[in-house]
């Protein structure tokens, strides 16, 4: 005969279940905290590594320039840096920032990791944690106070050069994203000051700042050729902050005597303005009565210190009239739409004198 049993399965009480839930929560919190610490530490190390890279290229720059350090967007863009943007705090305008003394013979670069920790590298001092109580303002950066906290003789670079502008990384950081910042090295790209400073005639072609045609703004460069022997044209000069073995893209807009063929190309000088080579990335374009945009891209050769862009006739002609406007040369592989420091609504700014200096902003 089968005997019945009174045994039964004992269930957890509510109290016991609550204890289990609490224990699981504690273990999860410990795991999450541990993981967060690992991630924060990795970001801190990455930012410190970037500061070491910056320190090294600044020192090399000083060796090449008799002791001065890069102090403009254009000179910084020529350093070939590639920062790890994923490790930085991107909600703070001063996430990476540069200070210098009045003679530009010393420098400091300060940065903020995604962990919230702040670090700096100072001339001849190596990388350290920035422990000052000075607050880095998310909107204004609090730049003057920040630089003074590093050293009482330090001040912000002109135009307060940072790693971020809005949500876009500035071109000198080497970060390529939808908001890539670039620097146009051409100092008088659209002749909006009414002068031809920084512009010269190829084979001494006569050039004036003209208002009868303009692709951008009010002025353009008008070339009236007068030589049946030499293929004349125009040269737009860039600032002497370019470097060798880097990719540059230059572009310009042209119109003029229909049917005439123009050759557009880079023209390379050394840092002292000495001629090295021309014809870099050359492209031919047949002129029409409408504006056409043409771009060229190339790798700069050894000794490069200045990148210029030129346009010249393929065949000499003494009766051609040509207009050129909106010249741009930037360290990028992408041909962006034209912009200069007058394009303020698009986030562009002149790096020094308006219409007579390099300009920077997001690639459009």
Residues 157, 248 within the same domain: no
Residues 145, 215 within the same domain: no
* CATH classification of the domain holding 251: 2.60.120.260
Output the pLDDT for position 28. Answer: 66
Residues 137, 242 within the same domain: no
Residues 274, 309 within the same domain: yes
Choosing from 118, 143, 178, the residue where a domain stops is 178
CA end-to-end distance (rounded Å), the chain: 92
Output the pLDDT for position 233. Answer: 98
Choosing from 114, 145, 178, the residue where a domain stops is 178
Which residues span the domain enclosing 338? 184-362
Residues 345, 229 within the same domain: yes
Residues 274, 152 within the same domain: no
Residue 199 lies in a domain: yes
Output the pLDDT for position 191. Answer: 97
pLDDT by residue, tens only, the chain of 364 residues: 445 555 555 566 777 777 778 778 776 666 655 556 788 888 999 999 999 999 998 988 888 888 888 887 777 877 878 888 888 888 766 688 899 988 888 899 999 998 989 999 998 788 999 988 888 877 677 888 989 999 999 998 877 778 876 666 777 887 765 456 788 999 999 999 999 999 999 999 999 999 999 999 999 999 999 999 999 999 999 988 888 888 999 999 999 999 999 999 999 999 899 999 999 999 999 999 999 999 999 999 999 999 999 999 999 999 999 999 999 999 888 888 999 988 877 778 888 899 999 998 877 7
Residues 234, 337 within the same domain: yes
């Amino acid at each position: 005969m089968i005997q019945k049993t009174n045994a039964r399965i004992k269930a957890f009480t509510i109290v016991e279940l609550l204890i289990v839930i609490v224990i699981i929560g504690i273990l999860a919190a410990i795991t999450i905290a541990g993981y967060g610490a690992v991630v924060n530490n990795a970001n801190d190390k990455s930012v410190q590594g970037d500061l070491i890279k910056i320190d090294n290229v600044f020192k090399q720059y000083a060796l090449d320039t008799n002791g001065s350090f890069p102090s403009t967007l254009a000179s910084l863009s020529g350093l070939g840096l590639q920062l790890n943007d994923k490790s930085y705090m991107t909600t703070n305008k001063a996430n990476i920032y540069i200070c210098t003394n009045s003679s530009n013979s010393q420098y400091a670069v300060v940065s903020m990791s995604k962990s919230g920790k702040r670090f700096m590298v100072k001339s001849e001092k190596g990388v350290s944690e920035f422990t000052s109580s000075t607050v880095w303002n998310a909107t204004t950066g609090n730049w003057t106070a920040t630089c003074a906290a590093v050293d009482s003789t330090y001040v912000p670079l002109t135009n307060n050069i940072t790693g971020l502008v809005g949500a876009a990384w500035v071109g000198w950081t080497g970060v390529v994203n939808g908001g890539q910042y670039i620097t146009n090295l051409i100092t008088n790209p659209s002749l909006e000051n009414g002068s031809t400073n920084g512009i010269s005639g190829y084979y001494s072609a006569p050039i004036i700042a003209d208002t009868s045609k303009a692709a951008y703004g009010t002025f353009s460069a008008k070339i009236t050729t007068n030589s049946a022997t030499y293929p004349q044209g125009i040269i737009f000069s860039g600032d002497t902050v370019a470097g060798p073995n880097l990719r540059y893209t230059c572009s310009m807009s042209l119109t003029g005597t229909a049917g005439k063929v123009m050759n557009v190309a880079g023209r390379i000088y050394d840092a002292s303005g000495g001629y090295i080579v021309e014809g870099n990335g050359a492209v031919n374009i047949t002129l029409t009565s409408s504006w056409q945009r043409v771009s060229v891209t190339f790798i700069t050769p050894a000794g490069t210190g200045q990148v210029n862009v030129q346009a010249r006739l393929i065949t000499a002609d003494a009766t051609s009239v040509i207009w050129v406007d909106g010249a741009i040369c930037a360290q990028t592989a992408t041909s962006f739409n034209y912009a200069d420091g007058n394009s303020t609504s698009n986030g562009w700014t002149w790096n020094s004198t308006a219409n007579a200096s390099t300009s920077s902003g997001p690639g459009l």
